[in-house]
Structure 1
Amino acid sequence: MSNTIHKGICLCLLSGLGITTPLLAQQPPAPGKKNSDTTRLQTAATRALGEVVVTASRKPVTLDNVPSSVTIINRKTLENDMAINTDFTDILTREVPGMAPGAQTNSNVGQGLRGRAVLVMIDGIPQSTPLRNAEVDLRAIDPAVVGSVEVVKGATAIYGNGATGGLINFITASPATDKILSGKTSLNMTGSLTSLKNSVGGRISQQLQGRYKKWDYLVSGVYEQTGEYKDAKGQLLGPNYSLGETDSYNLFAKAGYQLNSRQRIQLMYNYYRSQQNSNYTLVNGNYAQGIPATGIPGKSTDAPTGAQGNHNVHLVYQADSLIGQTSLTADAYYASRNDIFYVSLGRFDGGDGQSHTLDRKAGVRLLFNTPLLQHHGFSGALSYGADVLHNVTSQPLIDGRVWVPEMNMLNYAPFAETQWSLWQDLIVKAGIRVEKVNVSVDDYTTLRITDSKGKTITPSFRVQGGDLRYTATLFNAGIRYNRFPLLMPYASFSQGFSVADLGLALRDAKVNDIRKINTEAVLVNNYELGFVSEYQQLRFEWSGFISTSKLGAEMVYDSKTDLFNVSRTPERIYGFEAALQYRVLRNLDLSASYSYLEGKSDTGRSGHYDMYLNGRRIAAPKVTAGIGYRPVDELEVRLQYTGVNARNRFARNAAGTYNGNEGPVKAYNLVNLQASYKASKRTLVTLGIENLFNEDYFPARSQWFMIPGFYSKGRGTAFNIGIAVSY
């Protein structure tokens, strides 16, 4: 955890729309030289943290030169985390202040940033489905092929629609060798220490990479099969969306060609599949009695839940030193995903139904960067370009019935941003972006929704389709002053835009024309103040923020219909995050962080924010800590701590329990152990122990969600033993 670098980065409103973090990080070094980005990341623990370079714009900039909040997870940190488990929802919980805790499932429901939606990307390719937010986008790629992760916190329009709370960009690995052929083979065995029976799983990963003349390449294949997941008492965890008994595959390929000293072209493809094949059927839990969900032997005839297939293709062209020293980055991408959900019993027209989201994206981005001034401590640059995205999303039932009709979106967004360094210590950024969105929907018929007894809750009727148009002009500005290392303050303002879960509104339509449905987009204003303080081997960062929107996206439970509806009332969310890193000795590192978040809505639209936002939006306070010790060069031992504090904001209802999403969260504490030993120059042996002290707990989501099928406990003590051989 001490290798994670919590820093400010002005990936403000526009600097990443095609000014993508992955590309320069991916660009391989010239033959005979080490990859400078890789070297920086791998040696970050031995340098001043502010020197770490990220590609927040076309040209790499140091984190201390940007005025907003970000967390960088480098490759070394990812490898440490993978020695415990390969679940990105869990890794991000441990490593990112402000990230809501996960629930050890293939769904990231409620796991947002700063109380709002997060946009997940792979090399800048959107994985999220904001038109119908399925909240499964963190199951998009295996960490074995990720070189680093950049997490931008707070509303941003870097890549357009969907990032009202921030974004997570998985930057894929690049070849880091001068050989024609080199590789690494990894083998792991996993299982439960509370009950070994049927819990043992395995993982194999094979990677090959190389460089020949002007060509470079990296290919990888990963297969993982998990056994049964057990709680602290050795009992089976509820199989609904469990990561137990899951088969995951990841195929990855990247090839680049250096056309000449100033031009490069690169092609990447990634395929990810993760589906549960359980030998158990669900036994619902009981929140009122504290009985967790579990399972009984029995093979389901339903389609396996999870990501049936996630494809990403990315083509990038770079050219430097054009007219006026302008540089160009042009890229095109295609992405598709198919995510299958659990069966809803008796809900659809008096019968069962199993839905899946189908999402296809195709886009192109153009970015130009022109230097404006380089003179006597003053320097400036102008970034400008445009992004075009075509996105088609739907949520039908697997049997072909239409639940959410196909939504066909065309999004065009020109932008410009300027950045200046004044007197070397004063950094100023400002930008503008214009979003133009058109969503087309054909005529459709809603499904009749029933309760458990077959009684109609919402009838089926015909809805007239049409076009929905959105236009928004978004701004960002930031300033940072780095004169004194003991106090380097920054301030920023940024705006985010999202067509807020249009599919949810369409499937729950109660009118006969989509123009009569409240589908107005959400515009979020994010204000942030923070500072960084450095003294010798100590680094401390604090950031406070306020996020406001005139329209909300709160999922509120309706006791009359037993359904969740979207509340569009104004919202205000605020909080702070603090992170500390300290190198005590050359071989001893410490780290810690604390995150606090609160939010309310203005139910009367009177300017008085009187209603707390529920647990789906506002996470309980979170504490993390870590210690890393290297007694000898060949051995490293790390302890990680994650503490989720209590949150209780809502009163019991008439039935003596709580409305959906409003359950109180009881505190719990988790400790993980990770050790790695370099047995030889090419062989690394790893050991990970998850939940070292076998905490018996319900994850925060189980507590506030309270839905019987998802009221599942967390995993008890589990092991992960691995060996990796490089050649």
Structure 2
Amino acid sequence: MFIRFACATSALALCSVASGPALAQSAQQATTIDDVVVTAARTALPRSAMPSTIEVINEAQIAQQAALGSSAVETVATLIPSFSPTRQKLSGAGETLRGRSPLFLVDGVPQSTPLRDDSRDGFTIDPFFIDRVEVIFGSNAIQGVGATGGVVNYVTAAPPVEGAGPGGRFQALTTVDDSRFGDSVGGKLAGIVGQDFGRFDLTVGAAREYRGAYYDGGDRRVGVDGAQGDLQDSISWSLFGKAGFDVSADRRIELMVNHFELEGDGDYVGVAGNRGTGLPTTSARGNAPGIQPSNDVTSAALSYTDTNVLGGTLRAQLFAHDYSGVFGGGTFGTFQDTAIAPAGTLFDQSANNSEKLGFKLDWQGDIAPVPGLSALVGADALRDTTWQGLVLTGRDWVPETRYESLAPFVQLNQRLLGGRLNLSGGLRYETVTLFVDDFRTLASYGGGQQVDGGEPGFNELLSNIGATFEVVPGLKAYGSFAQGFSMADVGRVLRGINIPGQDVDTFLDISPVITDNYEIGLEFSRGDLQASIAAFRSETAKGARLVLVGGVYEVAREATGIEGVEISARYTLSDTLRLGGGYAHLDGRSDTNGDGKVDQDLDGANISPDRLILWAESDLTDTLSLRLQAGRYFERTFDGQPAENDFEGYDLVDLIAVWRAGFGDISLGVQNLLDADYISYNSDTTRPTDNAAYFAGRGRTVTLGLTRRF
């Protein structure tokens, strides 16, 4: 069925793009993706040689979405139809790309916590320091563990222009609900400056943002997520630095450091809604107990590049990543221990911690004896130490768990027919060991169980193969098969052991989630028209589906299959008007009874709704421009799931206006222009009996900004 569907949609796209006019390219048109080196792909090949869907969100697009007060992950979700609607919370649980989890990177440094996945990896950098976002769709092992849905790489500010002197930019933003001006007011100040001093260059920046209370389309204060953490009523600040030294004309050393902190203010407490009557969860003024939810992240990367090694380019990167995420507290049953306090009275809260150290080493160049053949060879290593503790009583919830991997790889590309045909293929061999010492579970798990530690591991050979072909000038067809892998959330499994006499070596199943991704597509680019269509299927024989058990999500190792189609188009109608849009359809099912058939729909915690986005940009004058963007999330029902989890769908419209004045750019962004009153997708499709987690989306907000470049 997938092949028939793919062929039909591909033929439809070919007819539609072939019928479009081939006009001269407008000077206003954005840079095409072929002009950009996609660093997340770890290759200097042109985009036309890559047999997969890749999207690059450039600096201008990031600046546009920043005018709405958007975070980095909201920018991706707004512009990529197959990315889930965001929860507008600190937690991104259930937010997926093509129905599976993406791997977030900052300049190639992994931000995820795969051993105890807390889904906060989208909030580790301020978008002000991002020059572009590279999105590689579909499962792949290009960057190692975690990219079962794709890769989202935040590429930070480029080095200063040589000989240009000091330069940078400053930004001030303020955001307010359109009808509630008091506690909804938020603000942001950010600046970055850099200079090239010859062989040495330096860039430094800082940002600070305060977010006020959120209000929905019915002018009700949106409920705070006291347990998982919230973005509203929070303060974040960030420091960024990048220094480079040109050892010679061929060799360069560069150091990047990013520090990001976000913490709730604790001025509000949640008030449960009523799913039966459609009343969403709200907030009331009050003092939230305990330490407020927060993210505290530091990433650093030391990179070396030599463009003249054996006729190719040698790249090496040593990186470190330190993360701590605090969650809200409560007298949850899991935390109770009568040896500490009477049952039902013990207040506690957890913090997830991850420390990474790793390196990436690769060489890319032409293989001289074979015309048109190039190779990428290298090796990656990663050590990730993760634990989850209870911060008020000093107990361990998830024991310290250390993940160590070494992965050599090779990738070949063969150019044929004068570059019209490109064949690619590669192998990556993952060797992984997990180290867990003896530990004891919390008292709530059967009185506390003593568990013997161990060192389970696995070896896995991952492969990919693909081809691209230029059918006619401007029209490319491609097809590929690629494998990606991730870890099941072993922290959830370890902390929940409630049976005596368990041993990590025999109890814990750390077999990886191997995803096989099949994709075919067409891309057309000629004159003022750019269009693409891709059909894909992603399947795994032993996945990691989130299942709600007793109010807490656990991991079920089940076969899953996801297939879909994505369509996008952009057309420059005139020198002053550009139109575009995109559509994504997803269908996902799982094997819940172990009979080998994927026969039950994935729910809203595991797959996103179908979505259509449309946009128009106009340069009204030399100094005034407008962008109108709209998104439709289509209704969805889930066979085999409670009817209460059915999704009704909703529409969102945003408006962005920019006036380029002599002293800087003044922007006005209106998010949710029509003030739609809706329940967020995750809240509408999960936890059907939980009235405390029935969150509405944000209503109409207005953001006024000033950006000055110097």
TM-score norm. by structure 1 comes to 0.88
1:87-236, aligned counterparts within 5 Å? 87-177=71-161, 178-236=163-221
Give, as a single letter, the amino acid of the residue that structure 2 aligns with 1:556: V
| 1:552 and 2:534 matched | no
**Any idea what the Cα deviations from partners look like across 1:163-194, whole Å, max 9, x if unmatched?**
11111110111134333322322111111102
Which secondary structure does the structure 2 equivalent of 1:504 belong to? Answer: helix
Which secondary structure does the structure 2 equivalent of 1:128 belong to? Answer: coil
Match of 2:433 in 1: 438
Match of 2:673 in 1: 692
Match of 1:716 in 2: 699
Which secondary structure does the structure 2 equivalent of 1:119 belong to? Answer: strand
How far apart are the structure 1 equivalents of 2:28 and 2:486? Answer: 35
Match of 2:659 in 1: 677
| 1:320 and 2:307 matched | yes
How far apart are the structure 2 equivalents of 1:703 and 1:411? Answer: 39
| 1:385 and 2:378 matched | yes
Match of 2:448 in 1: 460
Which stretch of the first structure deviates more once superposed, 183-192 or 382-391?
Answer: 183-192
Kindly report the root-mean-square deviation, in angstroms, between the aligned alpha carbons of the 2 structures. Answer: 1.9
**Any idea what the Cα deviations from partners look like across 1:478-531, whole Å, max 9, x if unmatched?**
100013146421000100111211111111224422222333221111111111
Residue 284 of structure 1 deviates from its aligned partner by 2.0
Match of 2:555 in 1: 566
Residue 48 of structure 1 deviates from its aligned partner by 5.3
Match of 2:575 among 583, 586, 600: 586
Which secondary structure does the structure 2 equivalent of 1:411 belong to? Answer: strand
Distance 1:185 1:329, change over 3 A: same
Identity over aligned pairs, percent: 30
How far apart are the structure 2 equivalents of 1:234 and 1:606? Answer: 49
Which secondary structure does the structure 1 equivalent of 2:627 belong to? Answer: strand
8 A contact 2:385–2:402 mirrored in 1: yes
Match of 1:281 in 2: 269
8 A contact 2:474–2:525 mirrored in 1: yes
Residue 535 of structure 1 deviates from its aligned partner by 4.3
8 A contact 1:526–1:548 mirrored in 2: yes
| 1:359 and 2:354 matched | yes
**Any idea what the Cα deviations from partners look like across 1:213-244, whole Å, max 9, x if unmatched?**
11112111000111111111222111113322
Give, as a single letter, the amino acid of the residue that structure 2 aligns with 1:146: I
1:302-381, aligned counterparts within 5 Å? 302-307=290-295, 309-323=296-310, 325-347=311-333, 348-349=335-336, 350=344, 351-373=346-368, 378-381=371-374
8 A contact 1:579–1:591 mirrored in 2: yes
How many residues of Structure 1 are paired with residues of Structure 2 in the alignment? 665
Match of 1:703 in 2: 684
| 1:526 and 2:526 matched | no
Q: Where does the alignment leave 5 or more consecutive residues of structure 2 unmatched?
A: 1-25, 337-343
Match of 2:480 among 492, 502, 505: 492
Residue 564 of structure 1 deviates from its aligned partner by 3.2
Residue 245 of structure 1 deviates from its aligned partner by 1.3
Give, as a single letter, the amino acid of the residue that structure 1 aligns with 2:313: S
Which secondary structure does the structure 2 equivalent of 1:467 belong to? Answer: coil
**Any idea what the Cα deviations from partners look like across 1:49-74, whole Å, max 9, x if unmatched?**
54444346666333222110121100
Match of 1:412 in 2: 406
Match of 2:387 in 1: 394
How far apart are the structure 2 equivalents of 1:427 and 1:517? Answer: 43
Give, as a single letter, the amino acid of the residue that structure 1 aligns with 2:183: N
Which secondary structure does the structure 1 equivalent of 2:427 belong to? Answer: strand
Which secondary structure does the structure 2 equivalent of 1:342 belong to? Answer: coil
Residue 131 of structure 1 deviates from its aligned partner by 0.7
**Any idea what the Cα deviations from partners look like across 1:591-633, whole Å, max 9, x if unmatched?**
1111111111123443322111111111111111110000112
Give, as a single letter, the amino acid of the residue that structure 1 aligns with 2:326: I
8 A contact 1:250–1:271 mirrored in 2: yes
How far apart are the structure 2 equivalents of 1:46 and 1:619? Answer: 29
Match of 2:10 in 1: none
1:17-28, aligned counterparts within 5 Å? none
**Any idea what the Cα deviations from partners look like across 1:371-428, whole Å, max 9, x if unmatched?**
11498xx512111111111110111111211111111111100111111211110011
Distance 1:553 1:687, change over 3 A: same
Distance 1:52 1:412, change over 3 A: closer
Match of 2:250 in 1: 262
8 A contact 1:164–1:498 mirrored in 2: yes
Distance 1:202 1:357, change over 3 A: same
How far apart are the structure 2 equivalents of 1:56 and 1:63? Answer: 12
